[in-house]
Structure 1
Amino acid sequence: MDRCGARITLTRMTTRRALLLGAAALPLAACGRFGSQSGDFDAPREERVACRTPEALTSFATLGGAPLRYEITGTEQSFNADPRFVDQLEAWAADWVAVSGLGPLTAVSTYGAHVDKCGSWHAAGRAFDFGVLTHADGTQVSCRYDTWGEDAPRLALYWRLAASLAKHFNYTLTYRYNEQHHNHIHIDNGVSGYDTFGFNEGSRTHVLLVQGVLRWVFGRDVPADGGFGQSTRDAARAVQQEYGITQRLASTEGWGAFLDAAAGAT
Structure 2
Amino acid sequence: MVLLTFNITCIEAEVKNGSQITDNERLKIIENNTRAILRILDIHDVKSSFFVEISLVGKLQNLIKAISSKGHEIAFYNKDSNPEEIENAKKNIQDLLEKQIRGIRQKDVKVSQEILKLMEFNYVSNIDNANILFPFKRLKRDTEITEEDGLSIVPESISPYSQLPYNDFVFQILPMKYYQNMVLETLQNEEFVLIYLNTWQFTDFKKYRFDIPFYRSLFSGKKMEDKLDALLTFLNDREMATSRMKDYVF
Using structure 2 for the length normalisation, give the TM-score: 0.28
Using structure 1 for the length normalisation, give the TM-score: 0.27
Specify which structure has the higher proportion of helix. 2
Question: More relative contact order in 1 or in 2 (CA 8 Å, sep 6+)?
Answer: 2
